[in-house]
Amino acid sequence: MSMDEAYALALAARRRPEREREEEARRSEVDAKAEEFVRGFKEDLQQQRLNSIYNYTQMLKRRQFGGGGSRQPDTRPDEL
């Protein structure tokens, strides 16, 4: 192996970790964005569930009091 080949191998070995660090940074950025998306999605699901429960309880109240008229709806939890 010549000195030039050895030098080229040493340079390649030195650059490889830098590339790997850059790749790791890109992966962690993608992971962070994915986690943010999942967190937002779960929050949306929870809000939909709360709205569904609220609507159900309002329907039960209307049935209980025989309300079939045209009342203004109460303020929803997400509007507070």
What confidence tens digit (pLDDT) does each residue in 18-43 have? 777 788 888 899 999 999 999 999 99
With beta carbons less than 8 A apart as the criterion, state whether 50 and 56 touch. no
Rounded to an integer, the average pLDDT of 57-63 is 94
Q: What is the pTM of this model?
A: 0.53
CA distances from 2 to 7, 12, 13, 66 (A): 9, 15, 17, 95
48 in any annotated domain? yes
**34 lies in some domain:** yes
The residue range of the domain holding 32 is 3-63
Domains of the chain: total:
1
Q: How many residues are present in the chain?
A: 80
- Whether 55 maps to a domain, the answer reads yes
Instruction: Specify whether the backbone of 66 is left (phi greater than 0), alpha (psi in -120 to 50) or beta.
Output: left
